[in-house]
Structure 1
Amino acid sequence: MNHLLNNLIVYNHLKEDPVLSAFAGICRLVESDGLDEMPSPAESEELRTLAFDSIHRIMEVATQYGFEENLWATYVTYQLMMDENPFALVHEKQSLQTGSASEFALRDCRFLMDLLHYDFSRLEEALSTDCFSVLTKYRTIRKHERMYFGNISHVVNDLTRKLSEADTPESFLDALSVFYQEYGVGMFGLNKAFRIRENADGTPELIPISNLENVNYDDLVGYELQKEQVSANTLAFLEGKASNNTLLYGDAGTGKSTTVKATLNEFFPKGLRLIEIYKHQFKDLSYVISRIKTRNYKFIIYMDDLSFEDFEIEYKYLKAVIEGGFETRPDNILIYATSNRRHLIRETVSDRNDMGRDQDVHHSDTLEEKLSLVDRFGLNVLYTKPSFDEYHEIVRRLAQKHGITMTEEDLIAKANAWSVKKGGHTGRIAQQFINSLNPKL
């Protein structure tokens, strides 16, 4: 195995993976041509511990991503999918092009095929264990979908089967190329949405969001004009046409966030990705942009429930990124925000008093600076509370979707009582009402 990893050129980083590196080290000690006798009991125990630790790590990843059947082959496939090497990045979301890099990749495929089908029999004999056979013929226990990244599980398992069935380096490379063309490479290829995590040393890091709400435009009853505006703007963005940063504003619970989620689900196959960021993380916007500006995807930087108090200055970071910073915003990035406030920044009576004590000499300029933030959003989409008739239609549609069996008269009567109890009749309140009727939701 050590020989296989050391001969890789394009996929050279695979040998840096802790699991593959550990297995290579074990195999090097056990299967060395110069080894005249089997390892001593103490040596075997030490190697078994190292092997079992690596198998445990494979099982952890398998649980996280829903691997099936041959966990060894699936783990190797997953490493190939995540390896952001120059060859993979160049062919991300586009068809394979011939060149020297392709020749190197084809050469690597000969070794990768052997790695995928590695024979562990001698290793099992030397370490007196059958764990490797169990790993390659794994019987998966059905897991709850919230335990793993369900949206990418089938992609990993499907590519594993295709690579395992490939009988030539050419067909192996073709299968990889189709994956790069359809999904891309690395975590951006496999995941729809991401958020920022601050590490222990204070540095930011992008990590995937595993459990996403599976909603589409049909799940948002009404608001046809709003959905059409957001959809058309997003499609133009994906097609490289003129598009605008978008502010979805209006009453709470009217479907602003649902529209953004549905947009992501609708256009994910076309290369759309989303990064959720909160206002206290605006200082990390430059890091986010540096990570994604060269990738062959279109990114929405999403800010939910965006608003600022008069003492908060994070909006200055946002203004600089949206428009007016020294560096031009990359053309693969768009900003979508939702807010219950039209002007985003809280405005008080004193904000309009230029003559008050201890006021800024040019206070009106300060006010204009605050209010100008909304002008940086080229598309403003208003969401208002639905009428009672629209609220009833939302209730009926949700009840039908979730299989609620109740007469319409009884349903509407209960929905009205629920709206009185909750003090409103928005789409969110309608969903909460349906949830109360169906505890499984």
Structure 2
Amino acid sequence: MYKELPKLMMYRELGEDSIIVKLSEIIRDFDSGEYTKDELISRIYTEVHKLLEIATDYGFDKNLWQDYIAYTLVTNENPFTLTAERAGTVEGSVNSFAKEDMRIFNHLFSYDFSRLEKSLGIDCFSTITDYKSVHKRHQVYNRNVSKKVRDVSDSIVAINSVYEEERKFPQNFKNKSADDVAAEMLLDLVKEFYKAYGVGMLGLNAAFRIAETVPNQEFTAKKNIDFQIGRGISCTPIKNNNHLVLDDLVGYEIQKSRLRENTESFLAGNPANNVLLFGDAGTGKSTSIKALINEYYDDGLRMIELYKHQMKLLAPLISSIKNRNYRFIIYMDDLSFEEDETEYKYLKAVIEGGLETRPDNVLIYATSNRRNLIKETWNDTNDVDLDKHRSDTLQEKLSLVSRFGVTIPYMRPNKKEYEEIVRSLGSRLAEKKKASGEGFDMTEDELLTLANKWSVAHGGMSGRAAQQLIDSIT
């Protein structure tokens, strides 16, 4: 292993903390004979522990080593993989470098650790290559990531069967060795993956949040860090997304239609606008935006959540994603500004008016309980105020809303609409219970009576109140 890693060209930067790199160093020391047994075993266990952590995070199973090799291939960002992501095909001499890298990865994929186990009296490698994981709910790990990585791993297993075929039928490999055939097949596999999904955590994950970390902090292999936005600032995948789609939100058909229309235009590369969803609490504004990522992930949509106190990071964030082959929605929930807060200026500058124009692959979707986003005080409308430019200041604040080309109101339902939401959610619950062999014997009148009492005790009629009622019955 340690003799092959230095030959990597395109995938050379695996990271100092890569399990592959660390195990390579361990095997080099083992072959040199310059080691103490206990110390070497301790180092091995450290890497196996890291591998188990990654397997837990991503739901890997069976052969964890092979899943990790596949994971490395689909997450390694380098000039070859990024070009394949953007262009779909990669022409020229770079393919020959990448093919040689694939040859090495095929060898790593089938690496035999048995001599280490036999000499050191350990069996951890046998365990991780025939691993039986504890069943986990999908909320514990990112199911999308797990499936994609394991599909690639299974495909590499099939590719590596060519070596066995060469041993059985050497006459079929007179013109091209199994090593060459396997390298070409793996190269085609990863290029197809990059074309379909992209590379790195952006390719594997749908939603992200900004994580401000200690500058120059070293991240272990366990960390789900996608990329550095700036010094000490990273984009981190959100692994426990809900799986709601827009149709799961009862009512608000006009609002959902406008949201879909703008988003689909954006994904098609046509003109689209920044969107502000405003209105009463509990009406489904946030749910509507989050549902988009589940509907359009396969179309290249990615979502990055940004909090108000992180507004200053907008410009570096956009700079770091503008050349990626995805469509990004920067999502800001419950957006509003008090009179003395100035973070809104970062948002205004990015949306419109800054020196650098907003790239075509980025939009901002925000929700707010305030139509104008910024709290207007008596002083804002008091002509006697000492600030003679108060009118200009007020206009500056209110102009933020005009930067959103699409504004969609989400208002509280009336009694009839609220009861229709309750009926619909109740019907879904009844079907769910029936499918699981349970009964649901509450009549519609009983449900509506309970719903009206519930709304009085829980802040009024809203979709959120209706859902909370159904959850309480469940």
TM-score, structure 1 normalization: 0.94
- 1:306 offset after TM fit, Å? 0.5
Sort the Cα spacing of 1:198 and 1:83 in 2 relative to 1 into closer, same or farther, 3 A. Answer: same
Letter in 2 for 1:71: L
Report the Cα distance in structure 2 between the residues aligned to 1:125 and 1:301, rounded to whole angstroms. 53
Note if contact 1:194-1:274 (Cα within 8 Å) is conserved in structure 2.
Answer: yes
Structure 2 residue aligned with 1:387: 414
1:342-392 deviation per Cα after TM superposition (whole angstroms, max 9, x unaligned): 100000122011322xx2121100110011000000111111111222212
- Secondary structure (helix, strand or coil) at the match of 1:361 reads coil
- 1:333-412 matches, within 5 Å, as 333-356=362-385, 359-402=386-429, 403=432, 405=440, 406-412=442-448
- 1:401 offset after TM fit, Å? 2.3
Letter in 2 for 1:267: Y
1:249-282 deviation per Cα after TM superposition (whole angstroms, max 9, x unaligned): 1111111111101111111111100111111110
- 1:257-276 matches, within 5 Å, as 257-276=286-305
Structure 1 residue aligned with 2:43: 50
Structure 2 residue aligned with 1:293: 322
- 1:33-112 matches, within 5 Å, as 39=33, 43-92=36-85, 95-112=88-105
- Secondary structure (helix, strand or coil) at the match of 1:91 reads helix
Note if contact 1:4-1:112 (Cα within 8 Å) is conserved in structure 2.
Answer: no
Structure 1's consecutive aligned runs of 4 or more residues displaced over 4 angstroms after TM superposition are: none
- 1:399 offset after TM fit, Å? 2.0
- Secondary structure (helix, strand or coil) at the match of 1:13 reads coil
Note if contact 1:10-1:105 (Cα within 8 Å) is conserved in structure 2.
Answer: yes
Structure 1 residue aligned with 2:332: 303
- 1:94 offset after TM fit, Å? 5.0
In structure 2, the gaps of 5 or more residues are 163-181, 216-230, 434-439
Structure 2 residue aligned with 1:28: 28
- 1:14-25 matches, within 5 Å, as 14=14, 16-25=16-25
Note if contact 1:82-1:185 (Cα within 8 Å) is conserved in structure 2.
Answer: yes
Report the Cα distance in structure 2 between the residues aligned to 1:80 and 1:217, rounded to whole angstroms. 34
In structure 1, the gaps of 5 or more residues are 33-38
TM-score, structure 2 normalization: 0.87
Report the Cα distance in structure 2 between the residues aligned to 1:128 and 1:186, rounded to whole angstroms. 37
- 1:93 offset after TM fit, Å? 5.8
Q: Which moved more, 1:177-186 or 1:299-308?
A: 177-186
Structure 1 residue aligned with 2:176: none
Structure 2 residue aligned with 1:425: 461
RMSD, aligned α-carbons? 1.6
Letter in 1 for 2:401: V
Structure 2 residue aligned with 1:158: 151
Report the Cα distance in structure 2 between the residues aligned to 1:363 and 1:16, rounded to whole angstroms. 56
Report the Cα distance in structure 2 between the residues aligned to 1:223 and 1:328, rounded to whole angstroms. 33
Note if contact 1:31-1:123 (Cα within 8 Å) is conserved in structure 2.
Answer: no
Structure 1 residue aligned with 2:169: none
Q: Which moved more, 1:387-396 or 1:313-322?
A: 387-396
- Secondary structure (helix, strand or coil) at the match of 1:2 reads coil
Report the Cα distance in structure 1 between the residues aligned to 2:157 and 2:242, rounded to whole angstroms. 32
> Given the alignment, which residue of 201, 207, 222 partners 2:251?
222
Report the Cα distance in structure 2 between the residues aligned to 1:400 and 1:158, rounded to whole angstroms. 37
Report the Cα distance in structure 2 between the residues aligned to 1:203 and 1:315, rounded to whole angstroms. 23
Note if contact 1:6-1:15 (Cα within 8 Å) is conserved in structure 2.
Answer: no
1:397-440 deviation per Cα after TM superposition (whole angstroms, max 9, x unaligned): 222223362221211111111112223111011001111101xx
- Secondary structure (helix, strand or coil) at the match of 1:157 reads helix
Note if contact 2:86-2:324 (Cα within 8 Å) is conserved in structure 1.
Answer: no
Structure 2 residue aligned with 1:174: 188
1:55-78 deviation per Cα after TM superposition (whole angstroms, max 9, x unaligned): 010001110111111000111111
Note if contact 1:31-1:122 (Cα within 8 Å) is conserved in structure 2.
Answer: no
Note if contact 1:249-1:383 (Cα within 8 Å) is conserved in structure 2.
Answer: yes
Report the Cα distance in structure 1 between the residues aligned to 2:67 and 2:4, rounded to whole angstroms. 17
- Secondary structure (helix, strand or coil) at the match of 1:283 reads helix
Letter in 2 for 1:25: E
1:289-331 deviation per Cα after TM superposition (whole angstroms, max 9, x unaligned): 1221111111101110110111111101110011000111111
Note if contact 2:2-2:25 (Cα within 8 Å) is conserved in structure 1.
Answer: yes
Q: Which moved more, 1:307-316 or 1:143-152?
A: 143-152
Report the Cα distance in structure 2 between the residues aligned to 1:260 and 1:126, rounded to whole angstroms. 56
- Secondary structure (helix, strand or coil) at the match of 1:16 reads coil
Structure 1 residue aligned with 2:473: 437
- 1:121 offset after TM fit, Å? 1.6
Number of paired residues?
Answer: 429
Structure 1 residue aligned with 2:219: none
Q: Is residue 214 of structure 2 the alignment partner of residue 187 of structure 1? A: no
Percent identity between the two aligned chains: 50
- 1:144 offset after TM fit, Å? 3.1
Report the Cα distance in structure 1 between the residues aligned to 2:41 and 2:448, rounded to whole angstroms. 65
